[in-house]
Amino acid sequence: MNPEAYSEERHAMVESQIRARGITNPRLLEVMSSVPRHCFIPKELESNAYEDRPLNIGSHQTISQPYMVAVMTDVLDPQPGDRVLEIGTGSGYQEAILAALADEVVTVERHEELAEQAASRFDELGFSNIRVVVGDGTTGVPEYAPYDRILVTAASPHIPAPLMEQLKTPGRLLCPVGSREAQRLVVLDRTPDGRIEERESVGCVFVPLVGREGWSEDIE
């Protein structure tokens, strides 16, 4: 693993795929220019790491398109001092981006092999503020709740109720909601007085969120 490799490709990705599409958050752009995406994918796909598309990482899972990672992170708007819950660890790339922007990240992955690989990458790259949990992400991680921000990176038929219960007041939750084939990114804000405000952001296509509060196991 060489985090310093592909620096030109990484900066080109940020300029052409992210900044050019209207994302201007300077903290986010800086982080995406520094986190080595190629370290979060299988070695045989390393040369494709900075292309404008998702990539397979095994276990029927993918690493999201860089632009989608940027959009979701920009909308989530994690701040220094925040505790973030992320559902669907996958390769660990999204968690690394969040960890560079927030104080602490708790992430859940139901595939033990992917969770172990991601945890190893975090250790090797020096991300000491990420806690990896193996389990059903649809039920969250109540022992570390509440969370300032919650991000779901898999498609759900609805917002899982346990995640709403673990969201701080005020707080923000993002989740792709829709059918197995296509979703909209739903943004839920819990206001300081406890009200829930809901809106839709961009269209998206994610792998299914499997678990007690999501899709059943037999959809894969």
Averages of pLDDT over runs of 10 residues in the chain (220 residues) are 92 97 97 97 94 89 92 97 96 97 97 95 97 96 97 94 97 94 93 94 88 74
Annotated active-site residue 59? The verdict is no
Residue 190 is predicted with a pLDDT of 97
Q: How far apart are CA 56 and CA 45, in angstroms?
A: 9
Residue 218 is predicted with a pLDDT of 53
Q: Give the H or E element holding residue 76.
A: helix 66-76
Judging by DSSP bridges, how do beta strands 61-63 and 83-87 pair with one another? unpaired
Q: Give the H or E element holding residue 134.
A: strand 130-134
Judging by DSSP bridges, how do beta strands 83-87 and 104-109 pair with one another? parallel
Q: Roughly what angle, to the nearest 10 degrees, separates helices 93-101 and 112-125? A: 40
Which of the residues 7, 47, 59, 64 is marked catalytic?
Answer: 64
Q: Cα separations (Å) of 166 from 38, 62, 102, 116?
A: 33, 26, 17, 25
Residue 220 is predicted with a pLDDT of 46
Residue 72 is predicted with a pLDDT of 95
Q: How far apart are CA 9 and CA 13, in angstroms?
A: 6
Name all domains of the chain by residue range, CATH numbers in brackets: 52-219 (3.40.50.150)
Residue 201 is predicted with a pLDDT of 86
Residue 180 is predicted with a pLDDT of 86
**pTM of the prediction?**
0.94
